[in-house]
Amino acid sequence: MLLTDQVRLHANAFFESLWTVFEEGSFPYIELKIHERERDGGTVNANARRAAAEVQLLLRCEEPRLADACMALEFAASREPEIYGPTYELLRAFIMRAYEGVSSSHDSSRAADERTPLC
């Protein structure tokens, strides 16, 4: 099994605890920041908003699409770092910890052979 597949399975197994943080903290924070910006007469980048709007859908799939959600949040954070940056950093750190956990728990001899086709 590829390392990325192992990481995906590992991260998905622990995702519910992260979802609680998103639901109770990160998503309300985003809404608050958007509200403050608009209240002060500012706007939010439409492309960032559209990408970020998909994140909850991606994360609530039967198997959470963490990499896709991270990519969407990375784009949103690149356009609106004050609004989406903290949530992106949280998701990215979660995925990186999953990589570290899986890779450190396996001997390097178990790594996929370079000649093994990926598809």
- Model confidence over 9-66: pLDDT tens digits? 999 989 998 999 999 999 999 999 999 999 999 999 999 999 999 999 999 999 999 9
pTM over 0.75: yes
Q: Is 43 inside any structural domain? A: yes
Q: Is 117 inside any structural domain? A: no
The domain in which residue 84 lies consists of 3-105
Number of domains present in the structure of the chain: 1
pLDDT tops 70 at residue 111:
no
Q: Is 110 inside any structural domain? A: no
Over residues 62-80, mean pLDDT: 96
pLDDT at 36: 98
Q: Is 116 inside any structural domain? A: no
Integer angstrom CA distances of residue 35 from 13, 29, 31, 49, 56 = 34, 10, 6, 13, 19
Longest dimension (CA), the chain: 57
Over residues 75-95, mean pLDDT: 97
Q: Is 31 inside any structural domain? A: yes
Q: Is 118 inside any structural domain? A: no
Q: Is 53 inside any structural domain? A: yes
